[in-house]
Amino acid sequence: MSEVIIKTEKLSKSFSVGGKQQHVIKNLDLEIYKGDFTVIMGSSGAGKSTLLYALSGMDKPTLGKITYAGEEITGLNDDRLAIFRRKHCGFVFQQIHLVDSMSIMDNAISAGMLTGQKQKDLKKKALGLFERVGISEDMTRKFPAQLSGGEAQRGAMVRALINDPDVVFADEPTGALNSAGVKAVLDVLTDINNSGQTVLMVTHDVKSARRADRIIYLKDGGVTGELRLGKYVSEDKERHEKIRKFLEEMGW
């Protein structure tokens, strides 16, 4: 069994909307394993993104505990959580969220400089990462608005990877992309996972879910099912069928 990197105990998250408490995640016990490509699926409003944000320290749980590599993060204040995120987490968002007034190189470097790395070293590292995700050096000088969705999202991945995070959190990273962009982004995520990077992705796209070696299904704030697939192989035709059946059972 792989090492547990994130663990939750009776995790709950509620929001107050119009004076009423709305319980999005309820009493969730979950373990995320190191080196896994874990995908969280569920219907709209199931709490997928909320769970992702809670696990990454972006959002504080209402109740319960989250431990990260054995250390509890639930009691940390906002600034300590920010410091935790910069050291341990990488983020890829559906809307990409690169700072639009910085080039994609500067977006990556500025994230890297938060951990005290020197700019010169960061640039070298970033160039290596950009090459890995298929972005040329010329393109790194461009601003996000000057790139296609897929290119910008791959640029965001470089930002996510610049600090060698323990976990890459991806919140529907292919949601705003065309099919070519989707494939490019998923190929990168698969590639980094194959190199040992832990990836935790939220998606409602079955094609994206095929890349996972573990799918968790979320419903009404709790985990209602889990599917273990093993590492992704592109020619694996049975994989899609397994996922389809699983989702059917879950009421997808």
Binding stretches for another protein (CB under 8 A): 10, 12, 14-15, 17, 20-24, 26-27, 44-47, 49, 53, 56, 58-59, 62-65, 74-75, 78-79, 82-83, 85-87, 89, 91, 93-95, 97-102, 106, 109-111, 113-115, 159-160, 163, 220-221
Cβ-based nearer residue to another protein, 219 or 242 = 219
DSSP code per residue over the chain: -PPEEEEEEEEEEEEEETTEEEEEEEEEEEEEETT-EEEEEESTTSSHHHHHHHHTTSS--SEEEEEETTEE-TT--HHHHHHHHHHHEEEEETT----TTS-HHHHHHHHHHTTT--HHHHHHHHHHHHHHTT--TGGGGS-GGGS-HHHHHHHHHHHHHTT--SEEEEESTTTT--HHHHHHHHHHHHHHHHTT-EEEEE-S-HHHHTT-SEEEEEETTEEEEEEE--S--TT-HHHHHHHHHHHHHHT-
Cβ-based nearer residue to another protein, 22 or 194 = 22
Nearest distance from residue 213's CB to another protein, in Å?
A: 25
Nearest distance from residue 95's CB to another protein, in Å?
A: 6
Nearest distance from residue 53's CB to another protein, in Å?
A: 4
Cβ-based nearer residue to another protein, 166 or 220 = 220
Nearest distance from residue 177's CB to another protein, in Å?
A: 15
Cβ-based nearer residue to another protein, 204 or 231 = 204
Cβ-based nearer residue to another protein, 56 or 229 = 56
Nearest distance from residue 143's CB to another protein, in Å?
A: 10
